[in-house]
Amino acid sequence: MSLRVQLRGTGVAIVTPFQQDYSVDYAALEKVINFVIENGVEYIVTLGTTGETPTLSKEEKKAIAEFTYEKINGRVPVIVGIGGNNTAEIVRELKAFPLKEAVSVLSVSPYYSKPSQEGLYQHYQALADASPKPVLLYNVPGRTGRHLAAATTLRLAEHENIIGIKEASGDMAQAMEILKHRPEEFLVVSGDDLLGLPLIACGGDGVISVIANCMPAQYSGMVRHSLDNRFAEAREINNSLLEVYDMLFVENNPAGVKSFLSNMGLIQNILRLPVLPVSEALHARTNQFLKAQLVS
């Protein structure tokens, strides 16, 4: 089975729960893993932005990945986030990181340095040459400060070890250009929950989602309806989630989704600096939304 088929649907960019002393809360992580799998997601992405990787040590990242493999136990595929703006260091990390049980590596476009398109191309070529697992590109210029152009993505799609892109530019014209010209087995997924439905309508393969941490059944159901061309049903679910999309990102991700998960009793509402929990007003609003869902 090709990875484009295997990763069709909803992947969840899973959170990293913390305890009161800011250590990783593995019991809570297991709860979230089981919750999202039991409620329909197709795969899990560990150590992404939503997992607060900028504040995790190398040792913690390895321990989280190994714990995730163990608790998933083959139930769904696992993608591991490994990226940065030091190409040589990422190449070393790819060779040393425990990736045997991963199906792919998600690697964010280099941030802060603002390389040229040729620099981005050569960076990803070097990663793909070194990686023991297929590489999934990740374009998120709102965080990196540099856009991975459609033309560069399509050049990279020719590499046999680059299997797709998480497109989070918010630019539907860019996404459509990639979808129009991509190779047959090149995976294109949305990195923006709000644009999941329209990207699939244009031919996309699914979403790597934040909202699927706290609303996995609803969101993965919407994605499956979209992939089955049942857009009336998909729109109905998507419309019911519009307020949630806003609450998840209005102050910070993953602060928004951690607010939901803590109000659901799955994790504690703790983040590592410089990221803070959402305001008391927003936290109360997420709780009110969840209570209203139970009543309805």
DSSP annotation string for the chain: --HHHHT-EEEEE----B-TTSSB-HHHHHHHHHHHHHTT-SEEEESSGGGTGGG--HHHHHHHHHHHHHHHTTSS-EEEE---S-HHHHHHHHHHS--TT-SEEEEEPPPSS---HHHHHHHHHHHHHH-SS-EEEEE-HHHHSS---HHHHHHHTTSTTEEEEEE-S--HHHHHHHHHH--TT-EEEES-GGGHHHHHHTT--EEEESGGGT-HHHHHHHHHHHHTT-HHHHHHHHHHTHHHHHHHHSS-TTHHHHHHHHHTTSS-S---TT--PPPHHHHHHHHHHHHHHHH-
Does 211 fall in a domain?
yes
On the question of pLDDT at 181 being above 80, the answer is yes
Average pLDDT over residues 59-72: 98
Segments forming the whole domain that contains residue 144 = 3-229
Please identify which of the residues 138, 219, 245, 258 carries the catalytic annotation.
138
Q: Indicate the pLDDT class of residue 1, thresholds 50, 70 and 90.
A: confident
What pLDDT, in 10s, does the model give residues 108-165? 999 999 999 999 999 999 999 999 999 999 999 999 999 999 999 999 999 999 999 9
Does 171 fall in a domain?
yes
Q: Indicate the pLDDT class of residue 282, thresholds 50, 70 and 90.
A: very high
Does 273 fall in a domain?
no
Active site residue 43: no
Does 140 fall in a domain?
yes
Q: Give me the number of domains the chain comprises.
A: 1
Average pLDDT over residues 203-225: 98
pLDDT, averaged across the chain: 97
Does 61 fall in a domain?
yes
Does 166 fall in a domain?
yes
CA atoms within a 13 Å half-sphere pointing along the CA-CB vector of 84: 14
Active site residue 138: yes
Does 153 fall in a domain?
yes
Positive or negative, the CA dihedral 272, 59, 77, 172 is positive
Does 206 fall in a domain?
yes
What pLDDT, in 10s, does the model give residues 216-236? 999 999 999 999 999 999 999
Average pLDDT over residues 233-259: 97
Average pLDDT over residues 82-90: 97
CATH number of 225's domain: 3.20.20.70
On the question of pLDDT at 296 being above 90, the answer is no
Tokens of 69: 């493999």
Cis amide prior to 254 (ω within 30 degrees) = yes
pLDDT of residue 295: 64
pLDDT of residue 294: 77
pLDDT of residue 87: 98
Name every residue whose Cβ is closer than 8 Å to that of residue 177 and which is 6 or more positions away in sequence: 150
Please identify which of the residues 166, 219, 245, 258 carries the catalytic annotation.
166
Q: Indicate the pLDDT class of residue 293, thresholds 50, 70 and 90.
A: confident
